[in-house]
């Protein structure tokens, strides 16, 4: 052990016993939740045009054959407003998801680290990242699911067949709940999409940060300027996002397919079989890599910028070294 004093994850790093800039108390977790709202709500809303195009490419691949041609088709048929379809349920849903995703991640990291003990928390930190992110996303998807279902239905319904405003679209989802399976009909495919995505997002982000500080910026993290630390945050987030896009794309495609009228009443297995594994893995993948890479890099940058402004420091760091 680093010392005879019992170690507490909420107060310091393992092994080095370096105190956290801000004790991990309820105020800390609350601030992380606010950072998560800003991180996910704003970024997902900003890329709604890409999301609309991606969803249409997945559901109507013969008509929307590529990103730029798909955008042109949407604008020609629906006007510029067609690229903003579903922006409000996107903002609400992903704000709630971000609150749970980031806030609960920080909470579960401390809970699992204290349960594992100091030596194991340092030795098996990768498993702690994976466990904490999976646990956080389980709850985050429950919070996201209702608005995600509204968003997908609005974005994938042919023009004029479904209300596009939040109240009208949600009301019709409730009215036709036997058909739409609202509000939690998509939670299982969301878990299958988002939990692997979030595990990859948090694990590879933390791993990339660690690699940067172990091999590139080898002085103590606190000696580098905040812009440098936030640059490491963005680069690590972008690299993690590319991996996330590939890992979670088949399930993301399946979620989009659920909103298609011809798949009414079909099970997930039947839909997957009819669409085909190759199409589930590849349709819209280029657009999603562009979207998720940028999205994830910006999410981590916004989150860590907020944490820095609150005096909480940026996320992650180099390999822990034993306290002197």
3-state secondary structure string, 136-162?
Answer: HHHHHHHHHHHHHHHHHHHHHCCCCCC
Prior bond to 249 cis, omega within 30?
no
With CA atoms as reference, report the closest residue to 205 among 114, 118, 283, 109: 109
Rounded Cα distance between 310 and 179, Å, is: 46
Task: Give 14-20's long-range contacts (Cβ < 8 A, gap of 24+).
Answer: 14/113, 14/118, 14/119, 14/121, 14/122, 14/125, 14/320, 15/118, 15/119, 15/122, 15/320, 15/321, 15/322, 15/323, 16/320, 16/321, 16/322, 16/323, 17/323, 18/323, 20/313
Rounded Cα distance between 172 and 181, Å, is: 12
pTM of the predicted protein model: 0.84
> What are the residue ranges spanned by the domains of the chain?
26-159+179-309
4: confidence class by pLDDT, cuts 50, 70, 90: low
pLDDT at 1: 44
Give me the half-sphere count of Cα atoms (radius 13 Å) on the Cβ side of residue 148.
25
Q: How far apart are the first and last CA of the chain?
A: 12
Exposure string (b/e) for 39-78, b if CB count within 10 Å is 16 or more?
bbbbbbbbbbbbbbbbbbbbbeeeebeebeebbebbeeeb
Work out the number of other CB atoms within 10 angstroms of the CB of residue 84.
Answer: 16
Residues 6+ apart with CB under 8 A from 244: 197, 198, 200, 201, 204, 292, 296
2-6, 19-23, 254-258, 312-316: which has the minimum mean pLDDT?
2-6
pLDDT at 86: 95
Rounded Cα distance between 113 and 323, Å, is: 18
pLDDT at 61: 82
Rounded Cα distance between 284 and 58, Å, is: 6
Number of residues assigned to the chain: 324
pLDDT in tens, 57-81: 878 888 998 888 999 999 999 999 9
Average pLDDT, the chain: 90
In the structure encoding, which two tokens stand for residue 248, read together? 């979670």
pLDDT of residue 229 exceeding 60, the answer is yes
The CATH T-level fold of domain 26-159+179-309 is Mitochondrial carrier fold (1.50.40)
Give me the half-sphere count of Cα atoms (radius 13 Å) on the Cβ side of residue 159.
11
pLDDT at 87: 97
Q: Is 6 exposed, middle or buried (0-12, 13-18, 19+ CB in 10 A)?
A: exposed
In the structure encoding, which two tokens stand for residue 195, read together? 């939990």
More confident residue, 267 or 25: 25
pLDDT at 266: 73
The mean per-residue pLDDT over the stretch 127-156 comes to 96
Give me the half-sphere count of Cα atoms (radius 13 Å) on the Cβ side of residue 1.
8
261: confidence class by pLDDT, cuts 50, 70, 90: low
Sign of the alpha-carbon torsion through 83, 87, 93, 94: positive
Task: Give 62-69's long-range contacts (Cβ < 8 A, gap of 24+).
Answer: 67/286, 67/287, 67/290
CA-based max dimension of the chain: 70
pLDDT of residue 117 exceeding 50, the answer is yes
pLDDT at 216: 95
The mean per-residue pLDDT over the stretch 222-241 comes to 95
């Amino acid at each position: 052990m680093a010392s005879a004093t019992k170690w507490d994850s909420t107060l310091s790093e393992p092994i080095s016993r370096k105190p956290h800039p801000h004790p991990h108390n309820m105020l800390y977790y609350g601030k992380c939740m606010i950072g998560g709202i800003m991180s996910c709500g704003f970024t997902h809303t900003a890329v709604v045009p890409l999301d609309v195009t991606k969803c249409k490419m997945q559901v109507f691949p013969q008509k929307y054959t590529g990103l730029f041609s798909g955008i042109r088709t949407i604008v020609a048929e629906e006007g510029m407003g067609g690229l903003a379809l579903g922006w409000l349920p996107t903002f609400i849903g992903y704000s709630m998801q971000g609150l749970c995703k980031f806030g609960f991640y920080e909470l579960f990291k401390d809970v699992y680290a204290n349960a594992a003990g100091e030596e194991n928390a340092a030795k098996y930190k990768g498993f702690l990242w994976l466990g904490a992110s999976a646990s956080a996303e389980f709850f985050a998807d429950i919070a996201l699911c209702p608005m995600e279902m509204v968003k997908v239905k609005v974005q994938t319904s042919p023009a004029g067949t479904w209300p596009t405003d939040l109240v009208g679209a949600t009301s019709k989802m409730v009215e036709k709940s036997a058909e739409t399976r609202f509000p939690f009909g998509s939670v299982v495919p969301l878990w299958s999409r988002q939990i692997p995505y979030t595990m990859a997002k948090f694990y590879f982000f933390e791993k990339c940060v660690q690699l940067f500080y172990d091999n590139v910026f080898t002085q103590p993290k606190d000696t580098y300027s905040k812009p440098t630390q936030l640059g490491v945050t963005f680069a690590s987030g972008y690299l993690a996002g590319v991996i996330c896009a590939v890992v979670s794309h088949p399930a993301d495609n399946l979620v989009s397919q659920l909103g298609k009228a011809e798949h009414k009443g079909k099970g997930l297995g039947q839909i997957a079989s009819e669409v085909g594994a190759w199409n589930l893995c590849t349709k819209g993948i280029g657009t999603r890599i562009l979207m998720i890479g940028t999205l994830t890099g910006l999410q981590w940058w916004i989150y860590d910028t907020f944490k820095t402004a609150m005096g909480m420091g940026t996320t992650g760091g180099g390999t822990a070294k034993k306290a002197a």
